[in-house]
Amino acid sequence: MMDINEVVSNLEKNYILKLLKQGKRIDGRGLFEYRDVKIKTGFIPKAEGSADVFLGDTRVMCGVKYDIGTPFSDNPDKGVCTVMSEYLPIASPMFEPGRPDEVAIQLARVVDRGIRHTNCIDYKKLCIKEGEYVYILFVDCYMMDYFGNLTDASAIAAIAALLNTNLPGAKLNEEGVPEWDGTYSPLTIYEIPLSISFGKVGNVIFVDPNLSEEMVLDGSIAFAVDEKKQVTSIQKYGNATWSVEEILDTSKKAIEIADELRAKLNLRQHVPQPK
């Protein structure tokens, strides 16, 4: 992935910095104003669940597929969920074709932690036979258009796709092998985690950096927040230093923004009906 700081002119950089120091932003938002989010689900027929998410002009598509395999030895009665992300070259001239690099791998891990650490999924309901057969969920996020803040957009796409997932039921046949039982059921989702990211330039902190702002950031920080108003994971990017007071204040702001966003999006409306 190309260094984002190589593609912005000094003139534009100085203009953005000047605005931020005045408490203004290049797209007219306030410092803690989130861009509009649009979601479409269930649009990939061959996926068990899918979501197409726009965060402003940033676009992430996510699909959920499944396999049946063996559980981890330390969790013999629990299914597995794994997240993957891919930066498609069509999303930005800064993205290069090939295998996922360390940036894509890091993004997948951040989204995965947001899901895992909130106990979002009932993994025990993904168990078919303890120690032998469980559902393995693959949550694949594809960056389609890059205009800043892929972390939050990917986190929204992942949870929306999981909420939209309809899994075929399974039973053991006479040979003890899983087979379809003729039913479909949505996943049991206990929590709706969201990621709220903040950028920092000098001593100015602001939410949901767009692409132009990401080009001049000293650093950023992303908070995964659950419905219980708990911060369940934190990811820091870049070289900016954050004081304890800044992290505490920003985490409180993340909880506030996440509550507002969750209410606005009403993500559970995308849960399919059992078949």
Tell whether 275 is covered by a domain.
no
Residue-wise pLDDT tens digits, 62-76: 999 999 999 999 999
In SS3 terms, 221-246 reads as EEEEECCCCCEEEEEEEECCCCCHHH
Tell whether 137 is covered by a domain.
yes
Tell whether 233 is covered by a domain.
yes
pLDDT surpassing 70 at residue 242: yes
pLDDT band at 271 (very low <50, low <70, confident <90, very high): confident
Q: Which of the pair, 271 or 4, is modelled with greater confidence?
A: 271
Q: How far apart are CA 215 and CA 9, in angstroms?
A: 10
Tell whether 120 is covered by a domain.
yes
Residue-wise pLDDT tens digits, 142-198: 999 999 999 999 999 999 999 999 999 999 998 989 999 999 999 999 999 999 999
- Segment 225-247 mean pLDDT: 95
Tell whether 250 is covered by a domain.
yes
**Domain around 12:** 4-270
Tell whether 257 is covered by a domain.
yes
Global confidence as pTM: 0.93
- Segment 14-20 mean pLDDT: 87
**Facing residues of 87 across strands?**
143
Q: Residues 6 or more apart from 149 whose CB is under 8 A from it?
A: 35, 55, 56, 58, 197, 208, 209, 210, 214
Q: How far apart are CA 231 and CA 245, in angstroms?
A: 15
**CATH number for 118:** 3.30.230.70
Residue-wise pLDDT tens digits, 88-147: 988 888 888 877 788 899 999 999 999 999 889 999 999 999 999 999 999 999 999 999
Q: How far apart are CA 70 and CA 136, in angstroms?
A: 9
Break the chain down into helix, strand, coil percent, rounded to 5: 30, 35, 35
Tell whether 80 is covered by a domain.
yes
Structure tokens at 4: 């984002």
Q: Residues 6 or more apart from 102 whose CB is under 8 A from it?
A: none
Total domains in the chain come to: 1
Tell whether 177 is covered by a domain.
yes
The DSSP bridge pattern shows strands 80-87 and 37-41 to be unpaired
- Segment 229-252 mean pLDDT: 95
